[in-house]
Amino acid sequence: MDDRLFRNAMGKFATGVTVVATEVDGQVHGMTANAFMSVSLNPKLVVVSIAEKATMLEKVKQSKSFSVNILAASQQDFSMIFAGQIKEHREVQFDRLGGVPVIPGSIAQVTCEVTSTHTEGDHTLFIGKVTDIHLEDKEPLVYFSGKYRKLAEG
Ligand code: FAD
């Protein structure tokens, strides 16, 4: 099957946009990701899927912890920075939640400890046990068919 057809079909699943962040040797690394979902309520588990080519893969393997930051509609720039869609380096200030770097102003900051990993094809699934959550009441950034969107009023 054609890669483009597969990508186009998966892009029809409208999602929010997150930035996954972690820290190794005092250096924070962020990566835009929409392959994120809730896995279990008891215990509280989530999953993120990270490409084998991504720098983030080794970072999370080393740190064994990460945050998932669900972006607000006003935070498209963060998505573009951490997806490499803005080429020049931008200085980003991170907050901390339980010692894990998080993106200020996100609608949800969810910090996790890695409990298991599953490599499937060219991605690795990181199962994270949720250690802390911070919420803000804002509208989300949406991604659909390869484009950023906002929720319609009403
Ligand atoms: P790099 O390419 O090295 O870093 C990404 C960018 O973040 C670089 O421009 C870097 O300068 C910047 N950056 C990193 N840390 C900092 C910091 N501390 N301060 C300032 N800038 C920093 N890929 C997946 O594997 N899984 C997904 O679920 C996924 N979903 C995506 C959803 C969307 C909407 C988009 C647009 C992309 C998605 N991607 C996903 C692709 C992924 O975001 C890119 O391939 C990304 O560039 C891979 O990052 P990397 O870890 O290889 O790091």
Instruction: Say if ligand 1 is within 6 A of residue 89 CB.
Output: yes
Q: Mutate which of 20, 32, 91 to test ligand 1's pocket (most atoms within 8 Å of Cβ)?
A: 32
Instruction: Say if ligand 1 is within 6 A of residue 80 CB.
Output: no
Q: Mutate which of 15, 53, 59, 82 to test ligand 1's pocket (most atoms within 8 Å of Cβ)?
A: 82
Instruction: Say if ligand 1 is within 6 A of residue 32 CB.
Output: yes
pTM reported for the whole predicted model: 0.97
| pLDDT in the model for residue 130 | 98
| pLDDT in the model for residue 153 | 80
Cα–ligand 1 centroid distance for 42 (angstroms): 30
Residue located nearest, by CA, to atom 2 of ligand 1: 84
What is the rounded distance in angstroms from the CA atom of residue 65 to the CA atom of residue 16? 21
What is the rounded distance in angstroms from the CA atom of residue 89 to the CA atom of residue 41? 38
pLDDT in tens, the chain (154 residues): 899 999 999 999 999 999 999 999 999 999 999 999 999 999 999 999 999 999 999 999 999 999 999 999 999 999 999 999 998 888 999 999 999 999 999 999 999 999 999 999 999 999 999 999 999 999 999 999 999 999 988 7
| pLDDT in the model for residue 9 | 97
Q: Mutate which of 22, 29, 31 to test ligand 1's pocket (most atoms within 8 Å of Cβ)?
A: 31
Q: Domain 3-142 has what CATH class? A: mainly beta
Q: In the chain, what are the domain boundaries?
A: 3-142
